Structure 1
Amino acid sequence: MSLGQQLAPHLPFLRRYGRALTGSQMQGDRYVRATLEAIVAAPEEFPRDVDPRLGLYRTFQAIWNSAHIEDDVDAGGVDDSEAIARARLARMSPLSRQALLLTAMEGFTPEDAAYLIDADTQRVEELVNEALAEIEKQTRARVMIIEDEPIIAMDIESIVRDLGHELTGVAVTRDEAVALAMEDRPGLVLADIQLADDSSGIDAVKDILAEFNVPVIFITAFPERLLTGERPEPTFLITKPFQRSTVKAAISQALFFDQSTVPA
């Protein structure tokens, strides 16, 4: 099997990581593209002593660490979300966010994450705890849930409240979701894809975003179907079945780039 064939199944999830790390589909995909270009240009430098997925993320980390500082200097004008993120990043170690996303969202073990960020396992665990504490302290929002499975909705609601956020309500259909959003505007939406009346959570979100901007996290059992490289695509995705830590990381990261949650 060629290297390209080995890496192909992991690309959708690398896109997810890149987008969560940057808060932008365009920027995240840019780093993924640069990663692939680096591998094609020098395949002999690709790590062969580890699992291909680890090698892929390791190459991405090298690109990110070498390139994002130049982007910060050369970017010129930036949008509001990036400006807010940079203000928050000034208060937090970049490694802590990477450790959090690699373990909680991408599912790497602390040992694998340690390899990816050049740290030891104990340090990774410390970084994850630091990231959760800092992001949760800096971000608070009013959250709406679009989910037709009562048990899952209750679980998500519990996580939302544990993080200190307020719930505006739970909708189970597209029409309910739009009506609820118009009645009580949320600061964050968590949306399932398939809803109770066979309507689409994606369509519900499109209707809401046509009225006002709000960060959205999609919940799906098939994230690769939404991570094809086409535009527009969701920036934040949670895979079913999910861990509570994954939901916490996604919520914190989505709000991390949202200007409405700037601390006083």
Structure 2
Amino acid sequence: MSLSSLIGPQIPFLRRYARALSGSQASGDAYVSALLEALLTDTSVFNRDAEPREEIYRLFSRLWNAMPINSEPGETKEANLTDRRLEAITPLPRQAFLLTAVEGFDAESAARVLGVEPAELERLVAAAGREIGAQVASTVAIIEDEPLIAMDLETLVESLGHKVVGMARTRAEAVTLARATRPGLVLADIRLADGSSGLDAVNEILESMGVPVIFITAYPESLLTGHKPEPAFLISKPFRAETVKAIVSQALFFNEMARPAQRRSA
């Protein structure tokens, strides 16, 4: 298979990634063009035995990180709010965040792209989460019937700079809490203390407010049926702390209804 047929399908996605890193379309495309020119000069640097998308991102990351100018957060006056927030994240954590949250690489693939160990990749994603939390600090409601798990979630959320406004153990408590506090994010279990449903609680909450929701459940199969709308953010129990931190940051960062946007329109 020719090199062009291997990398051609990846270019639109690589341009998206490059634009997010650089803060502008022109700059991002220039970096992608530089990579393609380098490949035309020496095709041997492309490992044909590797997964093509992972390999082209790996080569791009090597090119990007070799430039001293990219070792510091940038600033693009013309960038929109999302671009400016991305630029404010420290460079390597920004790359780790984009690779996993936007480009869809799993942790092992993202680690290979950046040339780091998986543990270091987790550290970078966690660092991005903390920096995002400082930008989009929000309020969080926790719907969870197991006290120890609820307290663990509270600790994780607050470590990112967010404030937990309350915890609920039943559907009725959850709806009352949400209506009273109007949180910027909801973390919800599926099966609650009195046999009620966290899913029903969330659906009732969403009738009166727009808020991102992360389901954290031991029964993900109850939501991933393929026959109805499925949640954008789902974490399986038992969960890992870094997974929760990363998903919380993603949900707040990319949701247009997050509290910072509400404040701007107030």
Instruction: Bin the TM-score by the shorter chain.
Output: 0.5 to 0.7
Q: Which has the higher contact order (CA 8 A, sep 6+)?
A: 1
Q: Flag the structure with larger Rg.
A: 2
For 1:236, the aligned partner's letter is F
Change (3 A) 1:207 1:57: farther
Segments of 5+ residues of structure 1 without an aligned counterpart are 1-46, 63-82
Tell me, yes or no, if structure 1 residue 96 matches structure 2 residue 96: yes
Which secondary structure does the structure 2 equivalent of 1:121 belong to?
coil
Task: Give 5+ residue unaligned stretches, structure 2.
Answer: 1-46, 59-79
Displacement, 1:261? 2.7
Structure 1 length as normaliser, TM-score? 0.59
Query: Partner amino acid for 2:97?
Result: R
Q: CA RMSD in A?
A: 3.6
Q: For the Cα contact (< 8 Å) 1:255–1:261, is it kept in 2?
A: no
How many pairs align?
189
Contact 2:141 2:167 in 1 (8 A): yes
Deviation at 1:232, TM superposition (A): 2.1
**In structure 1, how many angstroms separate the alpha carbons of the residues matched to 2:250 and 2:188?**
16
Partner residue of 1:253 out of 246, 250, 254: 250
Change (3 A) 1:250 1:125: closer
- 8 Å contact 1:173–1:197 — kept in the other structure? yes
Query: Structure 1 residues 128 and 183, CA, compared in 2 at 3 Å: closer, same or farther?
Result: closer
**1:219 and 1:164 mapped to 2: Cα distance?**
20
Q: Where has structure 1 moved over 6 Å in runs of 4 or more? A: 47-50
Write the letter of the residue equivalent to 2:188. Answer: A
Q: 2:188 aligns with which of 184, 187, 191?
A: 191
Show CA shifts across 1:103-161 (max 9, x none).
Answer: xx98734xx4323xx22015746743552343122121111000000110111111122
Q: Distance in 1 between matches of 2:125 and 2:53?
A: 18
What are the residue-to-residue correspondences of 1:94-133 with 2, within 5 Å? Answer: 95-99=95-99, 101=101, 108-109=107-108, 112-115=109-112, 118-121=113-116, 124=121, 127-128=124-125, 130-133=127-130
Query: Which of 219, 237, 242 is the matching residue for 1:222?
Result: 219
Using the aligned pairs only, state the percent identity.
49
Paired position in structure 1 for 2:229: 232
| Aligned residue runs from structure 1 range 9-158, under 5 A | 58=54, 85-92=82-89, 95-99=95-99, 101=101, 108-109=107-108, 112-115=109-112, 118-121=113-116, 124=121, 127-128=124-125, 130-158=127-155
Q: Structure 1 residue 91: deviation in Å?
A: 3.9
